């Protein structure tokens, strides 16, 4: 590629004697000057780079579309190619990677399929390098390779490692190629890439704040050595890095090809218009499909470190994360998302940053409101995020641990599903309504001496197939949804078994994992895993155990998770004697596992657990992936759907009556359950009457709840949660106190 590249000119910086910088921006400007100009023009005109018209697009509509398709195609092709270079199932099977093209100022032009989140995060990283004078030190030249995984610079968690490369044309930086891959290990104090246990930045493992890790398209030797020594699975790390580099080269080739075809000046016009085009198209969707106004949804998550010996004393407590979200849609289509009232950051692994929240916003918005191939920086220009300073979504320092920030921001952004859906519903776009996303965990993660006798780490990504929330016209899809990647996939069990010292005894739909409703959410699934050829392995639990969301329009939230592990089992004996063994739990109250397996059972509802008990061969870990939220009143569900659910083992028999008021009886010939219409109608009538008896006027309920608040009758964790919000957000506290008629200085 060097044939296209001229050595950049060295220019003296004004007023600084002896300093030399490469003015690598357009028309003799620095990138910093370009970024400043771009931001000022947007500030002044409200349009990207002040573009009044999309002239290039208007004059060459077909070329414009073809060039966009060519660039987008090269990004997708970079992704497909590099999936075959990496050896990690997270990449090969699940496609947890993406490739992106950025403008010189760091604004996204186009993105491949994959983890959409990084349309924004690497953009933040490029802008950070520009703002921090990387043009002067360490310098930016053709063939340079930068690496970043710092959440406070631009990322959603340290597991997502970025490779960023500048693309030059005749001495000018014309674009940046970005690649991101979710790795298997990050070298934290506990193994895996969603390590539960680190509580500050000092325990996070390998953190790379936009470092130059190579030049002339070659990685520095010392970088390779450093990664070899600090990462548990260096072979996977190295191949992931090669995969990212290869993809970036494909993108650079494509950009050079486009420039040769349409000329550099047209390319420059094209990339700016593509971003403004993106902005206009999001505005158009919002204006067409939603009603302006204020939409509010609160979400919650918990951290269960109380009594843990694996975290420092100050962290060993249970806390509840509070993330009230207010979305305001302006008449012009702009959207403000305000997390005023969010909890303070904490000593755990789940603190986020503005870049992470923006990334999550992209994931959800591109799946729910903007399912387009032209996702780019245009979306950022429509949204304004307000994240209280000092909160879990915007900490005031870089001390908080962000190793798995998804734990908080994915939970907080849950409110976005309900808010968008209410917007759609009020405008009549009923087919777009989605009851909500459950937080898809459990995330199974761990490490130790594996089945190959090596010290390694694992991060099982099968949670990328959780249940979709219910729609307003049908149930959610079973195990077919990932909010972070539009192409949900759980991966083949055989591939996971290659990298993990655990066998799959079974993988089945988990009944009742979805939220009930007129339309139920999609179900999640459970995997029964047995430790294999290891006697020294640590596994952790990473799943919110409380309800993260509330379901929609009377539908119920998806089920909370629970921890299920069994140690010192008789599994090896069962296998030796060729006796039956369990392949699922099915019904936790009548567990099929307990029928066969003797051992020390650890069952509990707390779900955020650092590695505590060492696992040995024959021990079991039952992983479960959540279902989606429900939509509408359960008593309005078609009884035939309930019978089908019971027959297909999507819900347990006893819930047909208790939840849905549907009475089933056996069909003698087929052996299947069928609806007894008469008894069902009677039962539902009784349930409705019971609701009537229990109901009280809202005024009365408010008064009752108010006196409960005044008596402070809530558990300690909830008291601390509210007090945190009061302290951080004056406005939110004032509104809460006014609503409940509390004294101005009220604290729990
Ligand atoms: Mn990731």
Cα distance between residue 603 and residue 621, in whole Å:
10
Which pLDDT score is estimated for 440? Answer: 66
CA of 186 to the centre of ligand 1 (A): 11
Give Cα 683 distance to the centre of its chain.
41
Average pLDDT, the chain: 93
Residues 608 and 556 in one domain: yes
Q: CB of 94 within 8 A of CB of 127? A: no
Our CA angle for 140, 144, 150, nearest 5°, is 85
Examine residue 251 and state whether it is found in any structural domain, yes or no.
no
Distance 318 CA to ligand 1 centre (A): 25
Give me ligand 1 centre to Cα 115, in Å.
8
Integer Rg of the chain from CA: 27
Q: Tell me, yes or no, whether 534 lies in a domain.
A: yes
- Tokens for 309, please give them: 């010996």
Whether residues 584 and 661 share a domain: the answer is: no
Residues 653 and 734 in one domain: no
- Kindly state the average pLDDT of the residues 10-31: 66
For residues 465 and 522, the answer to whether their CB atoms sit within 8 Å is no
Interval 432-462: pLDDT, tens: 999 987 776 799 999 999 999 999 999 999 9
Distance 403 CA to ligand 1 centre (A): 10
pLDDT of amino acid 350: 94
Q: Which of 682, 680, 606, 576 is nearest to 637 (CA)?
A: 680
pLDDT tens for residues 557-582? 998 888 999 999 999 999 999 999 99
- The C-alpha atoms of residue 270 and residue 61 are separated, in whole angstroms, by 11
Max intra-chain CA distance, the chain: 95
What phi-psi label fits residue 533: left (phi over 0), alpha (psi between -120 and 50 degrees) or beta?
A: left
| Contact between residue 130 and residue 166 where contact means Cβ atoms under 8 Å apart | no
CA of 402 to the centre of ligand 1 (A): 12
Least confident range from 1-10, 459-468, 517-526, 539-548: namely: 1-10
Compute the C-alpha angle 33/36/39, nearest 5°. 150
**Ligand 1 mean position, distance from CA 539 (Å):** 19
Q: Which residues contact 587 (CB under 8 A, 6 or more apart)?
A: 511, 652
On the question of pLDDT at 16 being above 50, the answer is no
730 within domain boundaries: yes
> What per-residue confidence (pLDDT) applies to 22?
61
182 CA to centre of ligand 1 in angstroms: 5
Rounded to the nearest 10°, the torsion over CA 360, 363, 367, 372 is 130
Q: Look at residues 237, 266, 292 and tell me which one is the last residue of a structural domain.
A: 237
pLDDT digits (tens, 9 = 90+) for 297-324: 999 999 999 999 999 999 999 999 999 9
CA distance 382 to 283: 7
% residues pLDDT > 70 (the chain): 97
Q: Is residue 16 a part of any domain in this protein?
A: no
Q: Which of 206, 237, 268 is the last residue of a domain?
A: 237
CA of 516 from ligand 1 middle (Å) equals: 30
Asked whether the predicted pLDDT for residue 682 surpasses 90, the reply is yes
- Asked if 104 contacts 280 with a C-beta cutoff of 8 angstroms, the reply is no
Confidence of residue 484 (pLDDT cuts 50, 70, 90): confident
Closest listed residue to residue 725, CA positions, set 259, 319, 256: 319
| Same domain membership, residue 560 and residue 545 | yes
pLDDT at 19 over 60: no
Instruction: Compute, in angstroms, the gap from residue 28 CA to the centroid of ligand 1.
Output: 38
List Cα–Cα distances, 666 to 121, 652, 659, 663, in angstroms. 55, 15, 19, 10
* pLDDT of 12 over the 50 cut: no
Distance, CA 439 to ligand 1 centroid (Å)? 14
- Please report whether residue 470 resides in a domain: yes
Please list, in sequence order, all residues whose beta carbon lies within 8 angstroms of the beta carbon of residue 263, skipping any fewer than 6 positions away: none
Cα distances (Å, whole numbers) of residue 154 to 36, 128, 177, 358, 721: 19, 8, 15, 10, 28
Q: Which of 216, 237, 258 is the last residue of a domain?
A: 237
Please check whether residues 664 and 542 belong to one and the same domain.
no
Across 600-610, average pLDDT: 93
Distance 524 CA to ligand 1 centre (A): 20
Q: Of the given ranges (12-16, 382-386, 498-502), which has the lowest mean pLDDT?
A: 12-16
SS3 26: helix
Same domain, 596 and 621: yes
**Cα 159 to middle of ligand 1, angstroms:** 5
What's the pLDDT at 94? Answer: 83
pLDDT of 389 over the 70 cut: yes
What are the backbone angles phi and psi of residue 698, rounded to the nearest 5°? Answer: -55, -40
Q: Tell me which residue range forms the domain holding 150.
A: 26-46+70-237
Question: Do residues 672 and 716 share a domain?
Answer: no
Question: What spacing in Å lies between the alpha carbon of 31 and ligand 1's midpoint?
Answer: 29
pLDDT at 370: 81
Collapsing DSSP to helix, strand or coil, 675 comes out as strand
Q: Is 386 in contact with 338 (CB distance < 8 Å)? A: yes
pLDDT tens-digit map of 617-674: 999 999 999 999 999 999 999 999 999 999 999 999 999 999 999 999 999 999 999 9
Whether 620 and 679 map to the same domain: the answer is: no
Instruction: Please report whether residue 620 resides in a domain.
Output: yes
| 160 Cα: distance to centroid of ligand 1 (angstroms) | 5
Count of structural domains, the chain = 4
Decide: helix, strand or coil at residue 255.
helix
Sign (positive/negative) of CA torsion 180, 132, 249, 233? negative
Q: Report CA(157)–ligand 1 centroid distance (Å).
A: 6
pLDDT mean over 215-233: 96
H or E stretch covering 177: strand 172-182
Instruction: Give residue 699's pLDDT band: very low, low, confident or very high (50, 70, 90).
Output: very high
Tell whether 587 and 736 lie within a shared domain: no
Residue 559's closest CA among 506, 507, 611, 517?
A: 517
In angstroms, rounded to a whole number, what is the distance separating the alpha carbons of residues 486 and 602?
Answer: 35
pLDDT at 21: 53
d(CA 264, CA 134) in angstroms, rounded, equals 24
The residues, any chain, with a CB within 8 Å of residue 363's CB and separated by 6 or more, are 115, 116, 117, 483, 484, 485
**DSSP codes joined into one string, 352-375:** --HHHHHHHHHHHHHHHT---TT-
Decide if pLDDT at 4 tops 50: no
Same domain, 442 and 575: yes
Q: What are phi and psi of 505, to 5 degrees?
A: -85, -25
pLDDT in tens, 114-173: 888 888 999 999 999 999 999 999 999 999 999 999 999 999 999 999 999 999 999 999
**What CA–CA distance (Å, rounded) separates 175 from 178?**
10
CA of 722 to the centre of ligand 1 (A): 30
- Residue 176 shares a structural domain with residue 77: yes
Taking a 5 Å cut-off on Cβ, the residues next to ion ligand 1 are 159-160, 182
Is residue 12 situated within a structural domain?
no
Residues 648 and 620 in one domain: no
Measured in angstroms, how far is the CA atom of residue 420 from the centroid of ligand 1? 24
Task: Indicate the pLDDT class of residue 371, thresholds 50, 70 and 90.
Answer: confident
Dihedral angle, C-alpha 695, 698, 699, 700, nearest 10 °: 30
Model confidence at 513: pLDDT above 80: yes
Model confidence at 92, pLDDT cuts 50, 70, 90, reads confident
**What's the pTM?**
0.93
Is the separation of the CB atoms in 445 and 496 below 8 Å? no
3-state secondary structure of 74: helix
Is residue 660 a part of any domain in this protein?
yes
pLDDT digit string (tens) for 718-733? 999 999 999 999 999 9
């Amino acid at each position: 590629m060097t044939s296209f590249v001229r050595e950049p000119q060295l220019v003296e910086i004004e007023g600084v004697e002896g300093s030399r910088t490469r003015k690598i921006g357009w028309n003799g400007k620095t990138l910093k000057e370009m970024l400043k100009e771009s931001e000022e023009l947007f500030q002044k005109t409200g349009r990207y780079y002040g573009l009044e018209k999309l002239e290039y697009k208007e004059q060459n509509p077909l070329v414009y579309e073809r060039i966009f398709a060519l660039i987008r195609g090269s990004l997708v092709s970079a992704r497909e190619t590099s999936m075959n270079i990496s050896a990690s199932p997270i990449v090969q099977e699940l496609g947890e990677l993406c490739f992106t093209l950025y403008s010189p100022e760091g604004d996204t032009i186009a993105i491949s399929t994959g983890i959409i989140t990084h349309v924004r995060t690497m953009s933040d990283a490029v802008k950070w390098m520009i703002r921090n004078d990387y043009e002067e030190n360490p310098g930016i030249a053709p063939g340079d390779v930068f690496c970043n995984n710092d959440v406070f610079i631009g990322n959603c968690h340290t597991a997502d490692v970025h490779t960023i490369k500048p693309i030059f044309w005749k001495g000018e930086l014309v674009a940046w190629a970005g690649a991101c891959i979710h790795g298997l290990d990050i070298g934290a104090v506990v193994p895996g890439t969603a390590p539960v246990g680190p509580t500050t930045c000092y325990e996070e493992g390998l953190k790379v704040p936009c470092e130059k890790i190579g030049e002339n398209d070659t990685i520095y030797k010392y970088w390779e050595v450093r990664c070899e020594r600090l990462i548990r699975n260096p072979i996977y790390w190295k191949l992931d890095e090669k995969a990212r580099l290869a993809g970036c080269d494909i993108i650079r080739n494509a950009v050079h090809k486009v420039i040769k075809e349409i000329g550099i000046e047209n390319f420059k016009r094209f990339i700016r218009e593509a971003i403004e085009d993106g902005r206009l198209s999001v505005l158009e969707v919002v204006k067409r499909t939603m009603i302006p106004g204020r939409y509010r949804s609160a979400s919650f998550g918990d951290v269960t470190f109380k009594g843990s010996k694996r975290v420092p004393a100050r962290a060993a407590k249970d806390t509840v994360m509070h993330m009230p979200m207010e979305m305001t849609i302006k008449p012009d289509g702009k959207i403000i998302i305000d997390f005023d009232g969010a909890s303070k950051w904490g000593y755990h692994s789940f603190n986020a940053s503005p870049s992470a929240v923006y990334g999550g916003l992209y994931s959800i918005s591109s799946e729910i409101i903007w399912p387009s191939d032209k996702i780019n920086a245009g979306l950022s220009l429509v949204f304004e995020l307000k994240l209280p300073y000092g909160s879990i979504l915007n900490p005031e320092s870089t001390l908080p641990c962000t190793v798995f920030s998804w734990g908080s921001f994915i939970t907080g952004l849950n409110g976005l599903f309900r808010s968008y859906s209410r917007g759609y519903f009020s405008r009549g776009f009923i087919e777009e309504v989605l009851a909500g996303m459950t937080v898809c965990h459990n995330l199974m993660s761990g490490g130790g001496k594996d089945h190959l006798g090596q010290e390694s780490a694992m991060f099982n990504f099968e949670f990328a197939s959780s249940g979709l929330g219910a729609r307003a016209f049908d149930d959610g899809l079973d195990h077919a949804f990932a909010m972070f990647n539009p192409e949900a996939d759980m991966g083949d069990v055989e591939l996971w078994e290659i990298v993990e010292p655990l066998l799959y005894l079974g993988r089945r739909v988990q009944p009742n994992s979805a939220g009930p409703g007129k339309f139920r959410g999609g179900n999640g699934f459970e995997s029964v895993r047995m430790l294999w050829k290891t006697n020294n392995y640590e596994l952790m639990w990473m799943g919110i155990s409380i309800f993260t969301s509330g379901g929609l329009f009377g539908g119920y939230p998806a089920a909370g998770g629970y921890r299920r592990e069994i140690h010192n089992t008789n599994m090896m004996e069962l296998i030796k004697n060729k006796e039956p063994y369990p392949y699922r739990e099915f019904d936790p109250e009548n567990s099929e596992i307990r029928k066969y397996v003797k051992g020390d059972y650890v069952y509990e509802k707390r779900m955020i657990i650092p590695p505590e008990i060492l696992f040995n061969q024959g021990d079991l870990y039952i992983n479960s992936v959540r279902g989606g939220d429900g939509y509408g009143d359960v008593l309005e569900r078609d009884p035939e759907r309930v019978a089908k659910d019971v027959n297909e083992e999507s819900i347990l028999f006893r819930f047909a009556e208790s939840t849905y008021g549907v009475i089933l009886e056996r069909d003698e010939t087929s052996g299947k359950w069928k609806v007894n219409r008469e008894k069902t109608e009677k039962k539902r009538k009784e349930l409705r009457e019971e609701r009537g008896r229990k109901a009280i006027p809202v005024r009365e309920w408010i008064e009752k709840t108010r006196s409960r608040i005044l008596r402070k009758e809530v558990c300690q964790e909830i008291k601390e949660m509210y007090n945190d919000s009061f302290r951080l957000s004056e406005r939110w506290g004032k509104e809460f106190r006014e609503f409940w008629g509390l004294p101005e200085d009220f604290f729990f």
